[in-house]
Amino acid sequence: MRTCLVVDDSRVIRKVARRILEDLRFRVEEAGDGLEALTFCRKAMPEAVLLDWNMPVMSGIDFLRALRKERGGESPIVVFCTTENDIDHISEAIKAGADEYIMKPFDGDILQSKFIEAGLLTHEAA
Amino acid sequence: MIEGPRLAALVASRVCHDMAEPMNALIQGLEMLKENDTAGKNGDAIALMEHGVAKAWAKLEFFRFAFAGGGAAGGDGDGHLEEARAVAEKLYGALKPALEWRAPAVTMPRATLKVAMNALFIANESLPKGGVVTVDAARAGDIVEIRIGCAGPRAGVRPATWAALQGELPEDGYPGPVAQPLLTGILARQTGVEILQRSGDGAVEIVLRSPHFAMA
């Protein structure tokens, strides 16, 4: 079973994401900020990361840049979630190493289709 | 001094940004409620919330595209009319008239996508009793036209809306519905899009013309 690390400072949002991702047959791990997420990745690199943009301690983009410099850190597929409307923010995140992005708000169906686009799921599996 | 439309886009962007997070919580919370209501005890309340959430979500995505210039409509370079389709279909899913998208592929400057999306909103207001909005594109001589048809009872662009589109400022203050066509007119002139109106037979057509539109 593949692991998806959900990185968000909201416990409720992590719970919601867990519910959707477990339905998609991922093993789900959680981190409350970028630093926790980085610590987790150093121990066990996940196959996927669902990453929030705005977080205290270490923001989504800072985590992403740090992750991509880690040993094996280029392998996880990173899907980040943002409320930013600005196209510049999105290109900044893609440049920092994100594979796919989701504009908030989104529901389970959108998350699933983004995971398919990012190559984490096949249409058959979903 | 920052120019008016740019500032309007930044304000709209800020509003959409701040609404996205709570909207996300509502959408996902509602999904959880539905999952947990297997006995159907809260059917009416859930239906009511679904209606409100769907409408708010569709409007938020529309405002983001049409006013804030985020996502597909943001940035420079060329875009495609088709990029407006998903947002428009979602919007019309929450509005009274039906939407029929018949347009072939049109390449257009990204900034003009905002004008097209705003015109689609004006089309809805031109059908107070509902009806059908059609989106099409065709060549008229050497220019490409995007044609937004509005057919239904009492179809017609409101005179105040049309005046605002032409850049005429209302004499007695600014009633709420005027702001959107006023901004649409300004964006159209800035980006070299001409807006025409053709009417006949209980239907009205809002036509966008620009030498910058291209069809394969």
- Give CA–CA dist B142/B147, Å, rounded: 15
Q: Give the pLDDT mean for B89-112.
A: 95
DSSP tally for chain A: helices H, then strands E: 5, 5
Domain that holds residue A34: 2-115
A57 within domain boundaries:
yes
CB count in 10 Å sphere of residue A19? 15
Q: What is chain B's mean pLDDT, rounded?
A: 91
Alpha-carbon distance B205 to B152, whole Å? 12
Q: What is the pLDDT of residues A56-74, one digit of tens each?
A: 888 899 999 999 999 999 9
Contact check, Cβ <8 Å, A105/B57: yes
Token pair 């495609």 in the structure block, residue: B80
By the CB < 8 Å criterion, does A16 face chain B? yes
Interface touch B21/A107, C-beta < 8 Å: no
Residues 44-83 of A with CB under 8 A from B: 83
ipTM summary value: 0.81
Is residue A125 domain-resident?
A: no
Let me know if residue A122 belongs to a domain: no
Q: Are B150 and B204 in contact (CB under 8 A)?
A: yes
Q: How many domains does chain A have?
A: 1
Is B27–A106 a contact, with Cβ atoms under 8 angstroms apart?
yes
A56 part of a folded domain: yes
Spatial contact of A13 and A50, defined as CB atoms under 8 Å apart: no
Q: Is residue A15 part of a domain?
A: yes
CATH (domain of A106): 3.40.50.2300
Q: Smallest CA–CA separation between A110 and chain B, in Å?
A: 11
Distance CA A120, CA A31 (A): 20
Residue B109, phi then psi, degrees to nearest 5: -60, 140
Q: Is residue A74 part of a domain?
A: yes
Q: What is the mean pLDDT of residues A42-62?
A: 91
In a domain, A98, yes or no: yes
Within-domain flag for A123: no
Could you report the per-residue pLDDT of B33-73, keeping only the tens digit for each?
998 888 888 889 999 999 999 999 999 999 999 998 655 55
Amino acid B75: pLDDT: 64
How many of the other CB atoms lie within 10 Å of CB of A103? 20
Residue of A10, A11, A85 to mutate, interface with B, max B Cβ within 10 Å? A85
pLDDT, tens digit, for every residue of B144-202?
999 999 999 999 999 999 999 999 988 888 888 899 999 999 999 999 999 999 988 88
Whether residue A84 lies within 8 A of chain B, CB to CB, comes out as yes
Q: Give the residue among B47, B137, B122, B111 at the shortest CA–CA distance from B88.
A: B122
How sure is the predictor about B74, in pLDDT bands with cuts at 50, 70 and 90?
A: low
